[in-house]
Amino acid sequence: MDGAPQPLQGAKVVVTGVTGQVAEPLACALARDNEVYGAARFHDPDARRRLESAGVRCVAFDLSAGEPSELPADADYVLNFAVAKTNDWDVDLQANCGGVAWLMEHHREARAFLHCSSTAVYKPMGHHVFAETDPLGDNHGVWRFLRTYSICKIAAEATARWAARRFELPTTIVRLSVPYGDGGGWPAVHLHMMINGSAIPVHVDAPSVYHPLHERDIARMVPAFLDAASVPATVVNWGGDAAVSIEEWCTYLGELTGIEARFEPTEHTIDSVQLDLTRMHEIAGRSAVDWKDGMRQMVAARHGELLKG
């Protein structure tokens, strides 16, 4: 399949981690044509108000707590974007792995389950272009504030693979690169650093290349990934078609705002994760939002006063 995925309509959909940067705009987009239940802890009342105003039915729940009985067991589709990154191994393994197992058991009659993983699961290999079959490793361990992240993502993938077989639940595991949009993302963090005059860490093995994916492409591709769900689980890289470096997108943000990007090469940051997107193209087609257009829209939404022209 190398075309536009068909939108999801008339389905009962559960979205976990719904207050997150990726899941919130996705849930709001799906709620236009579907019955959407959004699960999160809802510490931010403003996030809950935004979701409810978009038609999302909000359910307060913590996946580390056990069986998600508050969520509708008869959901057609379940999209798991929940993630725990407290840096406490016991807490994060329980939430990220135990939570997936509970969720998939509760929704074992669903038509399909989508588990959002990360390209952080890949073993650092410089400028290697990663296919889904390449070695896994502790990509984010170099960041002390995310020391549990990569390992928990790998473990959660293993749990989802097991549960797909155990419950005969068609599953797709997507390894997401760099999501961004009006709601934020890594490029938005870099923009804030530029505004504050902070240097942006980049790996000494330059350039630091990833695949930024706009939130509109995320919403557009999800139905195709659900269609591709299988037992055993389908695993697919997920990113924008353009391989773009931190150095390149920050320089462009500087062109848009007139704020110079300063870079600080270091070994104490994550290395490039460039992707082979062949499988994504076969399943969901190509990304539609040009990265420069997406970045301009992000700046307009978050710091419109800085946008030149």
Q: The pTM is what?
A: 0.96
pLDDT in tens, 14-53: 999 999 999 999 999 999 999 999 999 998 999 999 999 9
Rounded Cα–Cα distance for residues 268 and 282 (Å): 36
**Residues with Cβ < 8 Å from 49, sequence gap 6 or more?**
none
Looking at residues 289-301, what average pLDDT do you find? Answer: 98
The pLDDT value given to residue 152: 97
The pLDDT value given to residue 1: 45
- The more confidently predicted of residues 143 and 158 is 158
Rounded Cα–Cα distance for residues 121 and 47 (Å): 29
Contact 125, 203 (CB under 8 A): no
Rounded Cα–Cα distance for residues 298 and 285 (Å): 23
State the pLDDT confidence band at 57, using cuts at 50, 70 and 90: very high
Two tokens, residue 173: 């595991």
Residue 117 scores a pLDDT above 50: yes
pLDDT in tens, 254-278: 999 999 999 999 999 999 999 999 9
- The more confidently predicted of residues 31 and 144 is 31
Rounded Cα–Cα distance for residues 166 and 213 (Å): 32
The pLDDT value given to residue 126: 93
CATH of segment(s) 12-183+211-241+274-281: 3.40.50.720
For the chain, give the mean pLDDT: 95
Residue 2 scores a pLDDT above 90: no
pLDDT in tens, 93-109: 999 999 999 999 999 99
Residue 67 scores a pLDDT above 90: no
The pLDDT value given to residue 143: 87
* Angle, CA of 128, 129 and 131, to the nearest 5°: 125
Looking at residues 174-198, what average pLDDT do you find? Answer: 97
Looking at residues 164-171, what average pLDDT do you find? Answer: 98
Looking at residues 124-134, what average pLDDT do you find? Answer: 97
The pLDDT value given to residue 3: 52
The pLDDT value given to residue 63: 82
Two tokens, residue 219: 């919403």
